[in-house]
Amino acid sequence: MSASPDQILTVEQMRGAEQALIDAGSSVDALMQIAGRGAAEWVWRMAGRHRVTVLCGPGNNGGDGYVIAEAIREKGGRVTVIAATEAKTDAARAAKDLYGGDIVGAEADVHGEVLVDCLFGSGLTRPLTEEHLDLITGLAARHRQRIAVDIPSGVQSDSGMLLNEDLPDFDLTLSLGAWKLAHFLMPSAAKMGRMRLVGIGVGAVEGAAQRIVQPIIAPPPPDAHKYRRGLLAVVGGEMPGAALLACEAAQGAGAGYVKLFAKRPLNAPAGLVVDGGQLSDVLTDHRNTAILAGPGLGRHAEAREKLAIALADPVAAVLDADALVLLGARQLSERSAPVVATPHEGELLALERAFALDGVGSKLERAAELARASGMVIVAKGPDTVIAAPDGRLACAERATSWLSTAGTGDVLAGAIASRLAAGSETFEAACDGVWLHGEAARLCRPAFTAGELASAMPDALAACL
């Protein structure tokens, strides 16, 4: 299978992928040279001829550090290697022997411009010792810029958990061979800074999660009309502003016709159709291609009735906000059309209770379990956003701007996903595309933007995909 630069591997999957390369004729030493020298190119770009300090641990991550140091030395760079402990693997010892510069011990008082952390890699499962923690935090304080190789030392790769408190932040993280889950899951993702992938020839791994990338979206065909581009029905509720935000986002994300079903008078824009008829009547329109329920819906008896009517429509649905709190397993038991759910952490907990799940594991594991139990595509949103499908497909979003932490941005996300679903995208694909558009729209906004400004930026985000 051909290389897949967007796959995200667990520790076990990465070991299997490396073993496949070895079985095909490579070796641990050869792979270490490829990875280390590839990482050294990024270190050189950041450091140039400024002083570089490489902190090497006992395992193969330390071996990568010796290779990086030798590559920098060969370029004429100034590099100091700190051996935190003796190399303990054959490959690390071989890489150390090939390094032609001086090596100092952990007690050395080293200062420099760039620190390269090769103490421990993705296989770490226990906290750093006090000695190692003091070493890396002290070095981080004495260097202006910091680079982590593979993942920062002290991070659990598969869960994204920090195994120690007070770990340093990094300006750049260089993932070796493939992306790891910790690069996308909080709280570790907040430590990573910019991220770059250093390839070693890893092939596609079956069942791997995928990084959400910019989609390619085709413009409407020359003979398109509003219904062929997709009719999205949005169910309004007691808080009309949330539904209006979702509608504006949906219009900007490509759906040809967005219709809001709401009774009370709204300050709706002229380009939005608002239908105040009986919901049970208007949702029987056979031209509907998707439905969105939840933003501003409310949680009273009328809201429950609206949700039941929405779920009776035999088209794909997106459920958000209040709909997720009202949802129970029985409401999906007779539904055959696909559903996308977009919970934040509190709503994720409510859904786990509704489907009798214990909520144990990483965010991605929890989303995957909920997807299997409910049959829904789960978009578990937040500072880290992950997507899980009932068939086992998994995806993680890159970190978006933290300015998204404002009221109403979740309604915009729901509208973007529903729009792509209405336009004809497959459910999991629509969820991934909507998440990417949401993050790109936020990137295009000025700081401290409102949810309304975010929704207004959706057409520009879409334009990047055409």
pLDDT over 90 at 39, yes or no: yes
CA–CA gap between residue 245 and residue 118 (Å, rounded): 46
The answer to whether residues 185 and 280 belong to one domain is no
The answer to whether residues 271 and 179 belong to one domain is no
Per-residue pLDDT at 278: 87
Domain presence at residue 35? yes
The answer to whether residues 169 and 298 belong to one domain is no
The answer to whether residues 100 and 163 belong to one domain is yes
Domain presence at residue 127? yes
Per-residue pLDDT at 17: 96
319 in Cβ contact with 339 (< 8 Å): yes
Domain presence at residue 414? yes
CA–CA gap between residue 220 and residue 226 (Å, rounded): 10
Per-residue pLDDT at 265: 61
Q: Which residues contact 123 (CB under 8 A, 6 or more apart)?
A: 11, 59, 157
pLDDT over 70 at 309, yes or no: yes
Three-state SS sequence of 299-320: CCHHHHHHHHHHHHCCCEEEEC
Structure tokens at 377: 């595509």
Distance from chain centroid for Cα 198:
19
Nearest-Å Rg of the Cα atoms of the chain is: 25
Per-residue pLDDT at 411: 98
348 in Cβ contact with 375 (< 8 Å): no
The answer to whether residues 349 and 388 belong to one domain is yes
Domain presence at residue 17? yes
pLDDT over 90 at 264, yes or no: no
Last residue of a domain, one of 179, 210, 241: 210
Average pLDDT over residues 423-445: 98
The answer to whether residues 174 and 319 belong to one domain is no
Per-residue pLDDT at 282: 75
Domain presence at residue 129? yes
Give the CATH number of the domain where residue 202 resides: 3.40.50.10260
The answer to whether residues 203 and 235 belong to one domain is no
pLDDT in tens, 14-25: 999 999 999 999
Q: What is the mean pLDDT of the chain?
A: 96
Structure tokens at 140: 């981080």
Per-residue pLDDT at 49: 86
Give the CATH number of the domain where residue 454 resides: 3.40.1190.20
pLDDT in tens, 393-418: 999 999 999 999 999 999 999 999 99
pLDDT over 50 at 90, yes or no: yes
Position 3 confidence tier, pLDDT thresholds 50, 70, 90: low
The answer to whether residues 114 and 235 belong to one domain is no
Average pLDDT over residues 266-278: 88
431 in Cβ contact with 340 (< 8 Å): yes
Last residue of a domain, one of 151, 180, 210: 210
Domain that holds residue 146: 7-210
The answer to whether residues 311 and 247 belong to one domain is yes
Domain presence at residue 47? yes
Domain presence at residue 215? no
Q: Which helix (H) or strand (E) holds 211?
A: strand 209-211
pLDDT in tens, 196-253: 999 999 999 999 999 999 999 999 999 999 999 999 999 999 899 999 999 999 999 9
Task: Give the rounded percent of residues in the chain with a pLDDT score beyond 70.
Answer: 99
- Please give the tally of structural domains in the chain: 2
Pick from 114-128, 280-294, 336-350: least confident: 280-294
The answer to whether residues 206 and 328 belong to one domain is no
The answer to whether residues 313 and 427 belong to one domain is yes
Last residue of a domain, one of 177, 210, 243: 210
The answer to whether residues 200 and 258 belong to one domain is no
pLDDT in tens, 448-465: 999 999 999 999 999 999
- Residues linked to residue 287 through DSSP beta bridges, in sequence order: none
Domain presence at residue 220? no
Per-residue pLDDT at 429: 98
Average pLDDT over residues 319-331: 96
Per-residue pLDDT at 1: 45
Neighbours of 76 (CB within 10 A): 7
